[in-house]
Amino acid sequence: MKNSYSLFAYLPLLFVLAGCQSSLPSESSRDNVSAADTSQPDSTLGSVALELLAEGFTNPLSMEQGPDGRYYVVDQPGVVYVIDTAGQLLDQPFLDLRDEIMDLKPAHEERGLLGLAFHPDYAANGRFFVHYSVPLRSGAPADYSHTKHLSEFRRDAADPLRADTGTERILLYVDEPQGNHNGGTLTFGPDGYLYLGLGDGGGANDTGTGHLADWYERNDGGNGQEQTQNLLGSIIRIDIDQGDPYGIPADNFLADREGVRETYATGLRNPYRFSFDRGGSNALFAADLGQDLWEEVDIIQSGGNYGWNVKEGTSCFNAASAKQPLADCPNQTPDGAPLIDPIVVLPHKDTLGYDGYGIAIIGGYVYRGGQFSELDGDYIFGMWTQHHDSPAGAIYTARNSGGGPYDVSEVSIRNAADRRRGRYINAFAQDTAGELYVLTSETPGPSGTTGKIYRMVPSSNYDYQPTEKSAGQQGSH
Ligand SMILES: [Ca+2]
Ligand SMILES: [Ca+2]
Ligand SMILES: [Ca+2]
């Protein structure tokens, strides 16, 4: 994840704040973004408390409930832990890749073990997939940072609570120019294909070492837009039931373009967490981390282009001076592909006079569980924190109000006098019943043992607090 340096080194000023209604600034309002709608939501979303599921992790980044009912927790340093159906965290890890994973920095680190996905038929075939960071492989450009593996493993034949590390099959190597923007999510879609999010290569502005030129000459760089030479800046999709080492779905939009055939959607900066709606039309919701000004949520369509580094949110990104957007920019590629705007755009605290939301948007899930009927169909997501050096993650809902930007409200967490204090929100998880979990730590990097996982449960003393901002309030920064 974590938003290590990308978010930090490059968004250091963005912290943030509270929920309220989000509003996408239009192109015409860009020069006066503080006029965007920050009115308060009229909302009583339900009562939410956080109930501790398990603790003692370092920096939990994802959790999957297996077909056996157990929870499998991905801890960034390289371990997958098991929580049994009684809620007991088992001593024996399911998988331990710490010897393979590169040395991680104790703070602000986006590398490590980043994602886990069970094959849809895992109960029968024991196949699962992970995505993790290793030292730069031989043959990669010498000035690059590291290499990532997308690997398949199998469950141990004799002990179903342990992986057989001898079964590793590396399906894909991704050489990363910089240490940040590693994406991370690995998940199966309703189509049975495996999806993986890849960042733009890191650094800042989508420029510098390893950032290729694209069609948009006004901004340097452009792995997000470049679609011929590497997979960076994309969500990819592969068929792990065909081919060697995998097959390419015939309708991948670049399926005939050697070298980038895996591409499913492009124009992304760092799609760290994304998920499919298990209901509705099974839409793919991805939170794409912003740089200095805007965080966003996109609904990802096959072949879609989400704008980076032409746009950050709906703003015209300026790679030469990232905090000063350009006055105008294209809304489509030269081939006529539209640059698709987000469904949610949230400002950083210091963004152009806004009283913003936070550092690093954390993608979650469309709520389809049974505990909070009023949240059914809402997209639940978070902000990692508001200030880089202090844990203050927040949870939000985005509701489709019928076309246009979704309405965003903050979920007030009761049981703790610490509604937005004390936790970095690293990720969310969803169990097989559709209920949601929040994965947290109290330090910004992969060190210590403050990692905790909470289940979102109803609270009897719920008190919804929509926002700390008032309409029209402006930052003084
Ligand atoms: Ca360019
Ligand atoms: Ca690309
Ligand atoms: Ca975008």
Question: What is the DSSP-derived secondary structure letter of residue 69?
Answer: S
Among the listed residues 83, 72, 244, 94, the one whose alpha carbon sits nearest the alpha carbon of residue 154: 94
Conformation bin of residue 450: beta by default, left when phi > 0, alpha when psi is -120 to 50:
alpha
297 C-alpha to ligand 3 centroid (Å): 8
Which ligand lies nearest the alpha carbon of 215? 1
15 C-alpha to ligand 2 centroid (Å): 28
Q: Poorest-confidence range of 96-100, 248-252, 369-373, 421-425?
A: 421-425
Average predicted confidence (pLDDT) for the chain: 86
Q: What pLDDT, in 10s, does the model give residues 231-257? A: 999 999 999 999 999 999 999 999 999
Q: How confident is the model at residue 3 (pLDDT cuts 50, 70, 90)?
A: very low
Position 468 in a domain: no
Residues with CB under 5 A from ligand 2 (ion): 223, 226, 232-233
Asked whether the predicted pLDDT for residue 29 surpasses 80, the reply is no
Q: What is the pLDDT of residue 36?
A: 33
Position 22 in a domain: yes
Q: CA separation (Å) from 315 to 15, 24, 308?
A: 19, 10, 10
Tell me which of 12 and 113 has the higher pLDDT: 113
Question: Which percentage of the chain shows pLDDT scores above 70?
Answer: 83
Residues with CB under 5 A from ligand 3 (ion): 306-307
Number of domains in the chain: 1
Three-state DSSP at 3 gives coil
Q: What is the pLDDT of residue 4?
A: 32
Which ligand lies nearest the alpha carbon of 233? 2
Among the listed residues 321, 322, 271, the one whose alpha carbon sits nearest the alpha carbon of residue 292: 322
Q: How confident is the model at residue 354 (pLDDT cuts 50, 70, 90)?
A: low
Range of the domain at 54: 5-457
Among the listed residues 160, 158, 204, the one whose alpha carbon sits nearest the alpha carbon of residue 181: 204
Q: Poorest-confidence range of 19-28, 177-186, 216-225, 449-458?
A: 19-28
457 C-alpha to ligand 2 centroid (Å): 40
Q: Poorest-confidence range of 86-100, 211-225, 253-267, 341-355?
A: 341-355
Q: Poorest-confidence range of 8-12, 100-104, 211-215?
A: 8-12
Q: What is the CATH number of the domain that holds 70?
A: 2.120.10.30
Q: What is the pLDDT of residue 32?
A: 27
Once rounded to an integer, what is the mean pLDDT over residues 128-152? 98
Q: Is 447 exposed, middle or buried (0-12, 13-18, 19+ CB in 10 A)?
A: middle
Which ligand lies nearest the alpha carbon of 265? 2
Q: Which two tokens stand for residue 278?
A: 């298990």
341 C-alpha to ligand 3 centroid (Å): 6
Between CA 296 and CA 310 the distance in angstroms is: 14
345 C-alpha to ligand 3 centroid (Å): 9
222 C-alpha to ligand 1 centroid (Å): 5
Q: What is the pLDDT of residue 355?
A: 63
Q: How confident is the model at residue 415 (pLDDT cuts 50, 70, 90)?
A: low
Tell me which of 45 and 18 has the higher pLDDT: 45
383 C-alpha to ligand 2 centroid (Å): 26
Asked whether the predicted pLDDT for residue 28 surpasses 50, the reply is no
Once rounded to an integer, what is the mean pLDDT over residues 287-306? 97
- The gap from C-alpha 171 to its chain's centroid, in whole angstroms, comes to 22
Position 465 in a domain: no
Identify the helix (H) or strand (E) that includes residue 5: helix 5-10
47 C-alpha to ligand 3 centroid (Å): 32
308 C-alpha to ligand 1 centroid (Å): 10
Residues with CB under 5 A from ligand 1 (ion): 214, 216, 219, 222
Other CB atoms closer than 10 Å to residue 134's CB: what's the count? 17
454 C-alpha to ligand 3 centroid (Å): 30
Once rounded to an integer, what is the mean pLDDT over residues 353-367? 87
398 C-alpha to ligand 2 centroid (Å): 28
Q: How confident is the model at residue 211 (pLDDT cuts 50, 70, 90)?
A: very high
As beta bridge partners, residue 369 has: none
Q: What pLDDT, in 10s, does the model give residues 304-327? A: 999 999 999 999 999 999 999 999
Position 470 in a domain: no
Q: Is 346 exposed, middle or buried (0-12, 13-18, 19+ CB in 10 A)?
A: buried
Question: Which percentage of the chain shows pLDDT scores above 90?
Answer: 75
Q: How confident is the model at residue 176 (pLDDT cuts 50, 70, 90)?
A: very high
105 C-alpha to ligand 3 centroid (Å): 29
363 C-alpha to ligand 1 centroid (Å): 27
Q: What is the pLDDT of residue 352?
A: 60
Q: What is the pLDDT of residue 419?
A: 56
Asked whether the predicted pLDDT for residue 21 surpasses 90, the reply is no
Going by their DSSP bridges, the two strands 284-288 and 436-441 should be labelled as: unpaired
477 C-alpha to ligand 1 centroid (Å): 30
Asked whether the predicted pLDDT for residue 42 surpasses 60, the reply is no
235 C-alpha to ligand 2 centroid (Å): 9
Identify the helix (H) or strand (E) that includes residue 281: none
E-assigned strands of 330-372? 344-347, 359-366
65 C-alpha to ligand 2 centroid (Å): 32
Tell me which of 394 and 476 has the higher pLDDT: 394
| Residue with tokens 């509705």, as numbered in its chain | 280
Position 421 in a domain: yes
